[in-house]
Amino acid sequence: MLQLKIRILLSLCFLIAASYAVRSQVIHIETGNTSLVYGVYGNKVKQVHYGSRLTSTAGIDGLSTAFDEVYPSFGNGSSNEVALIATHDDGTMATDLVYQSHKQQLEGNIQTTTIQLKDEKKPFFVELNFKAYQAENVIEQWVTIRHTEKKPVRLEQFASTAIGFKAESYYLTHFYGSWAKEMQLAEEKLNNGIKLIETKRGVRATEYENPSFVLSLNQKASDYCGEVVMGALAWSGNFRLAFQVEDKENCQLIAGINPFASDYLLAPKEEFTTPRMVLTYSNTGKNQGSINLHRWARTYNLQDGNQVRPIVLNSWEGTYFKFDAAKLKSMMDGAAEMGVEIFVLDDGWFGNKYPRNSDKAGLGDWQVNQQKLPNGIGDLIDHAESKGLKFGIWVEPEMVNPKSELAEKHPEWIIQRKNDREPLLERSQLLLDLSNPKVQDFVFGVVDNILTDNPRIVYVKWDANRHIQNFGSTFLGDDKQSHLWIDYTKGLESVLARLNKKYPDIIFQACASGGGRLDYGALKYTHEFWASDDTDPFERLFIQWGSNHIYPAIATAAHITKSPNHQTGRDTPLKFRCDMAMGGRLGLELSPADLSPEDISYVKQVLETYKANREIIQFGDLYRLNSPYDSDGYAAISYVTAQKDKAIIMAYCHDFHRRDERSVIRFQGLEENAVYKITELNSKAKRSKVNETGKEISGSILMNRGLMFDMKKPYESVVLKLEKVR
C-alpha cells in the first residue's frame, strides 16, 4: 500500500510535468499492477502493450507493434474490423484519424487520460477517454465523437474500445442463457475469424447474452493461474463484442453499442458519447479479475456500494397477483417474525378501469387498485412500520398493456412499426418510447409520484418485461428512426439519473424478467439486480456462479423460496435454499404462512446469522473454490474480508456420491501464518459434516491441504465461518 502511495506521488509529479504536453511518443495508462501503453508512430497512435505493469518504459518508443490503430476507422486503408464508420457531409466515407495531442492526470486513485484524434482532412474529431483505477486495476474506456462539418455526419459504427492481445491461443468465456437460465458459462477456443457476443433486442438486453467476457491467453481460463483479460460494457441496450483472431497470434476486440440498424446522424458541434468499456487484467487467473471488478464496482459503479444491504421479502412468489390488504399484512407479520427488514409489494397493486389482476391488463395505470387495497399504500406502510419493517414497491414504468387507460390516452407514446402493422405483443405488453422527452418525463413521474405520495417507501423494484421488436418511433423524425435503439437507452439512463438525484436514499433493484438487465450501465443507477426468476437453488448454483464472475455479491439478489420450486418443480431442503441465498444479498420470496413453525424458526436463525455476517459477504473478496461445472458434483465459494481476518465458506453438493467419497476443499485468500477458528453456520444436524468444526487451524493448512466435507447426497450444504484468532 505504501509502495502504491509512493508510486502515485512520483507519477503525479511526472504527470503534472507531462500534462498538456503537445506531443509525446509514449502514452502510458497504468494502474497498480497493469499497463496499457500506446505509442505515437508518425501521426498514428497504436497500442504497444496491455498486461502486467511495466515498471520502466525505457526504450519503449523504439518498439515496433503488431497492433492496429488505437481507433481503427473505415477508409484508412486497412481491411480489418473497424471501430468507426462515418459518412461525412460531402458523402465521402473515408476517415483517417491522426494524433493531435494527449493529456494525463492522476488524482487520488484515478489516472485520467484523453487522446485527441482528428481526421486528416475533415474537421471531424475523436476523443479517447480512459480512467485507470490504481488500486482496483480496472481501466474504463469511452469515446466522444464530434465535428464541425457543414452538414450532419452519419455514424455507422462507433465502438467504445478497440484493443489487441497477443498470445499463442485465446480462450473466450462468455455468459449466455435465456429467461430463468441466465449467465450460463461457456468457454471456447477462438480460431481465425470473428466471434460475436451481441444482442439486438434493445430492452431486456442481457437475457440471452451478457456484455461481458473473460479472455484467457495461452490456456483455458483458470481461477488461480494464467493471464486473463476480463471486461464488461456498461450499457443496457444493444451491444456487440467482436473478437477477431488473425493468424492466431493477434486477437483484437472491438466492443461497444451494437451498430445494428443504428445509424446515427450527428449534427455539427453535437457530441456522441459511447458507453464505457470496463477492462481488467490479471496474471494470476480469473479469480483476481473478478475481485478487481467487484472492488471497482462497489466503489465506483454501484449505488451506495459501501452500504450494508437489508434483507427483503418480495411478495411475488408468495402471492403473485392474488392478494388483498389482509393477505399482505399477514405476510408482513410472518416476515417481521423471521427478521426481514423490508417488505416489497410486487406486481398487481394498481389499475382500476383495467385492474392489474394478471399480466394482460392495467400496466401503465399507476393508481392503487381500489378493490384490493381500498385504504391505499399508506395503510400497508403503516402496518409494515408497526411491525418494524420498511416498505418497498414494484414498478414497470417503461411498459404498457394495450388494455390500459394509458394506451387509450397516449397511443403515440408506444413504440410501433407504423403503417397499421399489427403490434407484436410480448407478455401481452408494449413498450413506451423513451427516446421521447415527454415519455421520459412520464416514466420519471410514475416513480416520482409514488415516492412523493408515499415518502416512507425505501425500495423500488424496477422491472422491464419485453424486448423492443415493434421498431419505430412517432417522436423521432423520418431521418432519425435508426436512433431509437440508442436514444431509448440514453432516455432510460437519464430518467434513472434524475431519480437517483431526487431520491438518493431509495434502494433500486434492476430486474427484467429476472436477469435481463444485468450490466454495469444499469448498475450505475441501481443497487442490485434480480439475478433470475429461477429461484431453484440448484439452478442458482450456476446462475450466481456466472453472474459473480463479473458482478459482485452485494448486488446479487438471491431469495429463499418454497419447495418444490415454482419454476423447476425440484424439491430441495430448506437449508440448501438458505445456504444458496447466503451467497448474495439474501432475501425471501414466499408467503411465510406456507412455512411450518419449525421452518419459520430455522429461517429466523438464518436471518440472524446473515445479519451478523453479511458484511463479510457483501464487502468481502470472492474466492471460487470448486466449480459447479466440474464433474465431481460439488461446488464451493468463499468470501474473505480485505484484512483476511474473517471468511465465510459455502459448500454445496449437487450429485450422489459413493459411500466413502468425501470432498476435500482447499480454501483461498487467507493469511498463511494466521490461525483461524472454525464454526459452522446454519447447521441443522447434530454432527457437523466437517470434523474440524470448533478447531483452530492455520491458514496455510486450510489453503494447502484443505478440509474434508462429508457431503454425499444431492442438496446437502455446509456454511463455515473462519475467524482469525492469532
Binding residues for ligand GLA (CB under 6 A) = 316, 346-347, 359, 394, 463, 465, 511, 513-514, 530, 533
Residue 292 or 315: which CB sits closer to ligand GLA? Answer: 315
For ligand GLA, the nearest residue by Cβ is 347
Residue 429 or 682: which CB sits closer to ligand GLA? Answer: 429
Q: How far apart are CA 353 and CA 457, in angstroms?
A: 25
Nearest CA-CA partner of 211 in 196, 193, 223: 196
Residue 426 or 463: which CB sits closer to ligand GLA? Answer: 463
Residue 506 or 674: which CB sits closer to ligand GLA? Answer: 506
Q: What one-character DSSP code corresponds to residue 73?
A: B
CB 233 within 8 Å of CB 520: yes
Q: Residue 339: which H helix or E strand, with range?
A: none
Q: How far apart are CA 557 and CA 523, in angstroms?
A: 13
Residue 158 or 350: which CB sits closer to ligand GLA? Answer: 350
CB 325 within 8 Å of CB 315: no
Q: What one-character DSSP code corresponds to residue 155?
A: E
Q: Tell me how far, at minimum, the Cβ of 511 lies from ligand GLA, in Å.
A: 5
Q: Tell me how far, at minimum, the Cβ of 343 lies from ligand GLA, in Å.
A: 15
Q: How far apart are CA 161 and CA 50, in angstroms?
A: 13
Residue 258 or 465: which CB sits closer to ligand GLA? Answer: 465
Burial class of residue 148, CB neighbours in 10 A (0-12, 13-18, 19+)? exposed
Q: How far apart are CA 459 and CA 511, in angstroms?
A: 13
Rg (CA), the chain: 26
- What contacts 294, CB < 8 A, 6 or more positions away? 548, 551, 552, 553, 621, 622
Residue 136 or 182: which CB sits closer to ligand GLA? Answer: 182
Q: Tell me how far, at minimum, the Cβ of 394 lies from ligand GLA, in Å.
A: 6
- What contacts 314, CB < 8 A, 6 or more positions away? 344, 346, 461, 559, 587, 588, 589
Q: How far is CA 49 from CA 26, 69, 167, 285, 690, in A?
A: 11, 13, 12, 19, 47
Residue 316 or 354: which CB sits closer to ligand GLA? Answer: 316
For residue 48 the three cell numbers come to 504497444
For residue 20 the three cell numbers come to 498538456
Q: How far is CA 336 from CA 61, 218, 449, in A?
A: 65, 53, 27
Question: Would residue 20 be called left, alpha or beta, if left means φ above 0 and alpha means ψ between -120 and 50 degrees?
Answer: left
Nearest CA-CA partner of 488 in 520, 515, 466: 466
Residue 316 or 576: which CB sits closer to ligand GLA? Answer: 316
Q: Tell me how far, at minimum, the Cβ of 454 lies from ligand GLA, in Å.
A: 19
The dihedral through the CA atoms of 522, 527, 533, 537 has a sign that is positive
Q: How far apart are CA 230 and CA 542, in angstroms?
A: 19
Residue 68 or 347: which CB sits closer to ligand GLA? Answer: 347
Residue 253 or 511: which CB sits closer to ligand GLA? Answer: 511
